[in-house]
Amino acid sequence: MKIVRFDYKGKIRYGLIEGDKVHLVKGSIYDNELLCEDEYFDLDKIRLLAPTTPSKIVCVGLNYKDHAKELSMPIPDEPIIFLKPTSAIIGPDDDIQYPPSSQRVDYEAELAVIIGKVAKSVAPQKASEYILGYTCLNDVTARDLQKKDGQWTRAKSFDTFCPVGPCIATGIDSSNLEIKLLVNDQVRQSSNTADMIFGLDSLISFISSVMTLLPGDIIATGTPKGVGPLARNDSIKLIIEGVGALSNKII
Ligand code: MG
């Protein structure tokens, strides 16, 4: 299933993509059984939004072997985690704003996990029960400020620095998905989730031993090799197999 959050004439709702239509969801997408109303919308007449409104976005640093190699960094023995604020979230086709205080803004293509139910100190073997689905997330980063500050909060947290979408894809095997990022139609990142250092089971277990994860929360699982800078007016397209494409422009 592909769950979308959308705006139609100022009203925000959830639906399921069925061909070129969106089938309106009844109740909450976090209910045990997903039910639909007898109401459909044309995909081209609605505006897709970020598919979740999380309480937090937990990001994982350095989680692809090819990226660690590219940076000549040792493979970490525990995940490095940090937070992005929810105020940074934008949806498909929304613009990323280049902040005047940075001279170097990078893209980072990431597979994002959407949590489906309250998760606290979850054992790795049980972690998959807490996943609702997957989406694309661009962990936009002011690289110069990240280096300057040491702490990552400013570099990762500008408004618009967290494009998310286009849908929550459920029922897919996330262990072997192609992940790609294109800038102005040129491939800049091309990898596979199979190259991750810490798999989703161990990430959910590790993070939920630190903080309780709530339905809708996002875990951004790290970026593969090929990160690089963006220039104003670049078009960015992040594609994950089985999920879809997230397109944004930076202005
Ligand atoms: Mg990242």
Tell me the pLDDT tens digit for each residue of 7-52. 999 999 999 999 999 999 999 999 988 999 999 999 999 999 999 9
CA of 96 relative to ligand 1 center, distance in Å? 16
CA–centroid distance, 38 to ligand 1, in Å, is: 40
Strand partners, 27: none
Q: What is the pLDDT of residue 68?
A: 87
Which two tokens mark 135? 């989406």
The Cβ of residue 87 has, within 10 Å, a number of other Cβ atoms equal to 11
Distance from C-alpha of 47 to C-alpha of 22, rounded to nearest angstrom: 11
Least confident of 41-45, 76-80, 133-137: 76-80
The band of 126, judged by pLDDT with boundaries at 50, 70 and 90, is very high
pLDDT of residue 104: 98
What is the percentage of the chain residues whose pLDDT exceeds 90? 94
> Using CA of residue 6, residue 113, residue 80, residue 53, what is the dihedral sign?
positive
User: For residues 125 and 129, what is the distance between their CA atoms, to the nearest angstrom?
Assistant: 9
pTM score of the predicted model = 0.97
Q: How far is the CA of 139 from the centre of ligand 1 (A)?
A: 5
Which token pair is 192? 């596979």
Rounded to the nearest angstrom, the distance between the alpha carbon of 124 and the centre of ligand 1 is 22
Q: Beta 244-250 vs 95-96: how paired, if at all?
A: parallel
Q: How far is the CA of 233 from the centre of ligand 1 (A)?
A: 22
pLDDT band at 80 (very low <50, low <70, confident <90, very high): very high
Rounded distance between C-alpha atoms, residue 196 and residue 124, angstroms: 16
C-alpha angle with apex 59: 57 to 61, nearest 5 degrees? 170
Distance from the CA of 238 to the center of ligand 1, in angstroms?
A: 14
The residue among 242, 107, 236 whose CA lies nearest residue 168 is 242
State in Å: Cα 21 to ligand 1 middle: 33
pLDDT band for position 175 (cuts 50, 70, 90):
very high
CA–centroid distance, 33 to ligand 1, in Å, is: 33
How many Å lie between the centroid of ligand 1 and the Cα of residue 111? Answer: 10
pLDDT of residue 71: 83
**Confidence at 73, pLDDT banded by 50, 70, 90:** confident
Selected residue with higher pLDDT from 76 and 100: 100
Residue 147, H or E segment: helix 143-149
State in Å: Cα 17 to ligand 1 middle.
Answer: 28
The answer to whether residue 167 scores a pLDDT higher than 90 is yes
Encoded tokens for 62: 């350095």
Q: How far is the CA of 47 from the centre of ligand 1 (A)?
A: 27
The CB-side HSE value for 100 (13 A sphere, CA atoms) comes to 0
Residue 58: is its pLDDT beyond 90? yes
What distance in angstroms lies between residue 108's CA and the mean position of ligand 1's atoms? 6
C-alpha 176 – ligand 1 centre gap (Å): 19
At residue 32, the pLDDT reads 86
DSSP sequence for 159-198: TT-EEEEEEEE-S--GGG-EEEEEETTEEEEEEEGGGBSS
Q: What is the mean pLDDT of residues 192-211?
A: 97
Question: Where does the pLDDT of residue 95 fall: very low under 50, low under 70, confident under 90, or very high at 90 and above?
Answer: very high
